[in-house]
Structure formats: C-alpha cells, structure tokens
A = this chain, B = another copy of it.
Amino acid sequence: MKIYLAGPDVFLPDAVEVGQRKAAICAAHGLTGLYPLDNEADLTAPDASRQIFCGNEAMMDAADAIIANLTPFRGAGADPGTVYELGYMAGRGKFCLAYSNDGAVYADRVGRFIDLTSENGRLVDAQGLTVEDFGLVDNLMMVHALELHGCPLVTPAEIPVDVWHDLAAFEACVRMAAARLIAK
C-alpha cells in the first residue's frame, strides 16, 4: 500500500534525508512511502512550479492514503500547501492520517503571536476576526476530516525538542495506517 508523505518537510535544509527516514519507517511497517521530492522537476525551467504540482498530484492519485505533517508552519496553523493535499486526498476518498508535533489548542497558539480579546462572547484577533475556539489543535475542517475520513490527528504528549525531525508521531500514524490498510 502506498502512502503519500505530505508536509513542510520538503522545505527543510535536509529535506531529502527526512524523506528517506520517513520512507524507511513506512518500509519497516510494510508500506511504501511516496515523498514529493522523489518526483523529478527541472527547477530551472520556467514552469518548474507547475511540474512540481503535476508530480505531486500524480503521486497523490497513485497513493492509497496520506500522512500529513500539520505541525504549525510560519504561524499558528498548518502549512496551507499540505492542507490542500489533505483536502484533495479526502475528496478522492483516500484514507487520511496526520500528525502535529505541537498539540496545543489552536486558540492558545494564536495567542502566542497576537493579542486576543473577547467581543460579545467571540474570541477575536486585532482585525476583529473570530479565532476558532473549540479546544481543537487546528482548524475544525482538518481535525474532523481526519476523524471521519481516516484516523484522528496524532499529537505528542509534549512538544519534541526538534519539531521538524522528531518522527515519533509520524511513526504512530504509520502504525495506524499499516493496521488499517494491510490486508487482514
């Protein structure tokens, strides 16, 4: 069974090595990890970004499931590129798993970046926009999509020292995927 390995991991300085570690964990559990950087794209071509998109989409279409890294990325929430892929896989009816290496409640995490106030019972940011406050780790669309289209979001009991390289929560997803996807 093939698992698409989505996440901002591709933006790390050691992106290739992280992908190899993830693929090795999948292999140890009898699964095949598909990592975006395994696609060939000519980064000097004028249509480089489109080549990357098409490679990623073809890889998602070939996969049976997705494990998305929803660890907060440049802000309080998950990387939108990764979230797009989670949505795409849910829409295609694929099995959806994800982890976040920061298990804090979303509203608390927003509060680390900006001042929040309460207005008529709504928690709002400086622009007056509501901050989702359901006690969930990220936006409700991702959290409940995982519950209803795969497995609930995996978070560690404590934030690991290195959120970008600690793969314990990732491996928990791989174990769940193996239990569900490998023929009984």
Contacts and interface: CB of A to CB of B under 8 A. Distances in A.
Q: Tell me if A's interface is mostly helix, strand, loop or mixed.
A: helix
A159 to B, nearest CB: 14
Interface string A71-95: 0011111111101111111111000
A102 interface: no
Contact of A91 (B15, B92, B130, B147): B92
Given A88-B88, A91-B91, A140 B53 contact: yes
Interface of A: 8, 10-13, 15, 48-50, 52-54, 56-57, 73-81, 83-92, 110, 113-114, 119, 122, 124-125, 127-132, 134, 136, 138-145, 147-148, 164
15 contacts: A10-B130, A13-B122, A50-B144, A54-B148, A57-B145, A74-B75, A74-B114, A79-B139, A80-B83, A80-B141, A81-B132, A81-B139, A83-B84, A84-B139, A86-B87
